[in-house]
Structure 1
Amino acid sequence: MSSSINARAFCKYRGGKWEVYTVCPPAEILLTIVVNSKELISIVCSPDNMEQLTIGFLYNEGVITSIDEIKSLEVDTVNCVACVMLTKEQFPKPHKLILTPGFGGGIIFSQEKMRKDIEMFLNIHPERLCFLMEEMKNNAVHYKRSGGIHASAVCDDQGIVIQAEDVGRHNTMDKVMGEALMKKISLQGKLMLTTGRISSEMILKASNMGIPIMASLSSPTTKAVDLARKTGIGLAGYVQKDQFIAYANADHFKDGD
């Protein structure tokens, strides 16, 4: 995220006085994804890991089912265009475009496609969950530098496996998925952590990624809670050093002994 290191001077009010405050605002671009020479969508995102974002987005939205279906992928970082050629001429067309209230990447095509072939159960000790959340926060380099950045991470029993940052909370999940596909890492049965509010479409992404537990520093929406209960995903919010709220399927958050 090289463009995020461009520091700018602002006026800050503190203790009854104004002072010059230098900070690096988070950068954002509009990435256009072109599939088989046809424009598919444009996404507001951070200007890094655009290849991972593109692959993860296509997978999470059902356009591809495997990275092997991608014949070529070229990212024009100057014009912010990702051109994808698939091994197939025809691919599942998103038939229901939904604009969601999330900032950046808050766009999905349908909430009707959900994986049914995954084992949706995992136990994690509450203290372990809190520890991993702190670890993700400590690893959030760009957030520490500029603020205004979201992070997501997937973890296994050894710790954090993949972590991504972006101005869009949905984009972080797509970046994680993209990197997992590129590295041939299965996310099934792993824990997903995120910094932002969890919406219903993020639960849908988690379900399609094979994620049985999702936890956030913030809160879930009511629709996210309902969908998590329906899919069996353990859902936790306001995760801090020694506390959190289990919004759905609390049996996930216990000692696995």
Structure 2
Amino acid sequence: MDIQELVVRPDPADPRLTRRVSGIDQTGRAVETAVTMERPLTLFLNAQEIVTMMTIADYPEYLALGYLLNQNMLQRDDRVTEVVHDEETETVVVRTERATDYEQKLRKKTLTSGCAQGTVFGDLMERFEEVRLAPEARLRTSWLYRLTHKINTAPSLYLEAGAIHGCVLCQEDRPLAYMEDVGRHNAVDKVAGWMWRHGVEPADKIFYTTGRLTSEMVIKTVQMGIPILVSRSGFTAWGVELARQANLTLVGRARGKRFVALAGLERIEFDLEPGEPGDEDDRHRRKGSRDDD
């Protein structure tokens, strides 16, 4: 597959995704600002209701497929016969040739630290120890610096309205697919669904997220087969432990030309001296630590 830079990206101009709201600022002056819209989306797998997610509701097909893949409800070799999104009823239905019944699995939900009521199931890690990430994958520091600059300056809902998380699939120093949502777990699922739908191979890819490097983020990245995970945010101890167990390269606090790597260090190639730490895009710096750290 010939992938061009940013095949799919956020659309800040989409009127369904934000709206203008009036209020006042710290001086009491009247202001009007853009706020992110969130809507419920109920996912069905064949005839079974699986989950209701709060989402901005763009790319519902990718979100549905990625969620099912990352929850091990959809197998990599499954044949999906249809994905139907009904905006009026706020539902998305995934139909497969294989008969499915996940009644028992749906009883074993475990709350995670993901925002927007993210959940994983008790056996989410059933494939975790089976995945072998590509040892030959590399992350050059020059790629990392260029990636963070490109991602931070790309048009996005975050710059338009905030209250959003972003995930970006990258190859070397090129962002390929940029997804946003109110929950980082939704954003990563959209990327997973897009990859599966278009047959994108993960072994030479880099995954970038604006969110914390938690256990859930590490597990989903490993399940997707991506060997390198980067974030502008920080780490959790269990996230680091799982990354080391899976030999996932884990890079956090990547801002300007600063970063910290805590796992999979052998994949990092220092081909460019950082010199003086580079400044972030001014709009990102003004927003501070975002909603995710």
* Fold-level similarity (TM above 0.5): yes
Partner Cα distance (2:95, 2:254) in 1: 41
- Partner residue, 1:5: 18
Quick one: structure 1 residues 67 and 76, their matched pair in 2 at CA, closer, same or farther if it must change by over 3 Å?
Answer: farther
1:78 to 71, 74, 88: 88
Match of 2:126 in 1: 112
For residue 11 of structure 1, what is the amino acid of its counterpart? I
The Cα shift of 1:205 comes to 0.5
1:1-257 equivalences in 2 (<5 Å): 1-13=14-26, 17-66=27-76, 68-90=78-100, 93=105, 96-104=108-116, 106-109=118-121, 110-114=124-128, 116-121=130-135, 122-157=137-172, 159-255=174-270
- Asked if the contact 1:237/1:245 (under 8 Å) is kept, the reply is yes
**Aligned-partner Cα distance in 1 for 2:185–2:156:** 18
Deviation at 1:117, TM superposition (A): 4.7
Find the counterpart in structure 1 of residue 289 from structure 2.
Answer: none
Task: Output the amino acid matched with 1:98.
Answer: T
| 1:131/1:241 contact within 8 Å kept | no
Could you tell me how far 1:202 is from its partner in structure 2? Answer: 1.0
How far 1:157 moved relative to its partner?
Answer: 2.4
What is the alpha-carbon root mean square deviation over aligned residues? 2.1
Structure 2, unaligned runs of 5 or more: 1-13, 272-293
**How far apart are the structure 2 equivalents of 1:115 and 1:44?**
30
Q: Which runs of 5+ in 1 are unaligned?
A: none
Task: Return the TM-score normalized by structure 2.
Answer: 0.80
Note the C-alpha offset of 1:91: 5.5
State the alpha-carbon separation in 1 of the partners of residues 107 and 72 from structure 2.
11
Secondary structure, counterpart of 1:224 in structure 2: helix
Cα deviations by residue, 1:82-116 (Å, 9 ceiling, x for unpaired):
11211111356456311112112621112333263
Say how many residue pairs are matched.
254
Deviation sequence 1:157-199 (CA, Å, 0-9, x none): 2511111011111111110111112222122331000101121
TM-score normalised over the length of structure 1? 0.91
Identity score, percent: 26
